[in-house]
Amino acid sequence: MIERYSLPEMLKIWQDEFKFKTMLDIEILALEALAKKGIIPSAAVKRIKKKAKFNIAQIKKIEEKTQHDIVAFVTNVSQYIGPDAKYLHLGLTSSDCLDTTLGVQLKQASSILVTKLEKLLKVLEKQSRKYKDTVCIGRTHGVHAEPTTFGLKLALWYDELKRNLVRLQLAQEEVSVGKVSGAVGTFANVDPDVEEYICRKLGLRPAKISTQIISRDIYAVFLCRVAIVGTSLEKFATEIRHLQKTEVLEAEEPFAKGQKGSSAMPHKRNPVICERICGLARILRGNALVGLENVSLWHERDISHSSSERIILPDATLALDYMLYKFIQVVEGLQVYPENMMVNLVKTHGLIFSQRVLLALMDKGLKRMKAYDIVQRCAMKTWKEGSDFKENLLSDVDAARWFVKKDLDAIFNLDYYLRNVDKIFFRVFK
């Protein structure tokens, strides 16, 4: 992920320093486990712990010759250790280091994502409660439908993100896995006790079975869940983008002092954060597809997955981390305009109450289609002329047989749409 969308805490996990430090920890833990089994001298392990270190620049220089990153790493560490280096990487294969390191990285990366999502949920709950009774128009197909409340919009986002939190937590549990089973996973040259010791010390669980690598379905699921969270954020950001349109302007993302909306037009206040979130969500879905393609490998392994994983796993976690961070800012600083919501509510001259009129006619004994025809006829007149829907009902011969003005005044009542809001909120936030 480019620096622009990388936050320091997450970026640290994917940098070489963290990767090689974790790999060195794995190598030393393997030595400790082997010493406990009496396979290598404990004194040698103590000496290795004191001397073991690495130099990233030197590793890269060695790799230019070896064309193998783990060989370069082991070679470089061995140069610092000296004669005891003969015990290093004993019975291990490259993927023992790489996949177990990946388990540590993904566990920590997932923890960051979970924490940010939990914070976003708290912010959403606060804003949802604040606007619980703020009436606005609900839209279907982009067209005015019936009144809802802005708080209900946010409550739905909250409920969706609660499901996403569970998905991320499950993903974290699944990717917190390591393997130290040697070439093709038979434990021929390293005992399962060694794997169990290393994983326990690192806070991972040992893979129940592996080939030379951990099965890639685990990471495919992780990437899909990350993509789903990102897609939810895209959904919410898209709603804000629509609400920020000049002709709507019911809500808009924060616009900071000194911020510029356009290099040419000083008046512009654009939903750039929400648009950025929508763009990054596409990256997450693309990464998920690559993760799915990485599941099918040749025999006990190939490395067709390796090159892409070096990109998609850091990018996916970095991108979602950034998206959550920015959307928290958007929700915290969301500008909401209840007065514009009321202006938009009356734009269709009362048409938003058409279902209530329909139901009232049916209550009076009319068959549904007969009642529907009456209401639609009056509604189409309002659409065509821009006239008042209530007046059109009162002047319609068929409708006027059933209504007087007082009846319609009671039907054209926004409070009706708020009567069950508290019940919905109880279900969402209980």
**To which H or E segment does residue 230 belong?**
helix 217-243
Q: Which residues are identified as catalytic? A: 141, 262
| Per-residue pLDDT at 304 | 84
Structure tokens at 67: 């064309």
CA angle 404, 405, 408 (to 5 degrees): 95
CA distance 5 to 318: 7
Could you tell me whether strands 251-252 and 205-206 are parallel, antiparallel, or unpaired per DSSP bridges? unpaired
User: 10-residue block means of pLDDT along the chain (430 residues)?
Assistant: 91 97 97 96 96 97 95 96 95 95 98 98 98 97 96 98 97 97 93 96 96 94 98 98 96 87 84 96 97 93 89 97 98 97 96 96 95 96 96 94 92 94 95
**To which H or E segment does residue 336 belong?**
strand 335-336
CA angle 288, 312, 53 (to 5 degrees): 145
Reduced to 3 states, what is the DSSP secondary structure of residue 142?
coil
Write out pLDDT tens, residues 149-190: 999 999 999 999 999 999 999 999 999 999 999 999 999 999
Contact, 160 vs 178, CB < 8 A? no
| Per-residue pLDDT at 428 | 96
DSSP state of 410: H
pTM of the model: 0.94
Contact, 336 vs 151, CB < 8 A? no
Identify the structural domains of the chain with CATH numbers, from first to last: 15-87 (1.10.275.10), 94-343 (1.20.200.10), 351-411 (1.10.40.30)
| Per-residue pLDDT at 160 | 98
Beta strands in 150-260 (DSSP E): 177-178, 205-206, 251-252
| Per-residue pLDDT at 219 | 97
Write out pLDDT tens, residues 327-377: 999 999 999 999 999 999 999 999 999 999 999 999 999 999 999 999 999
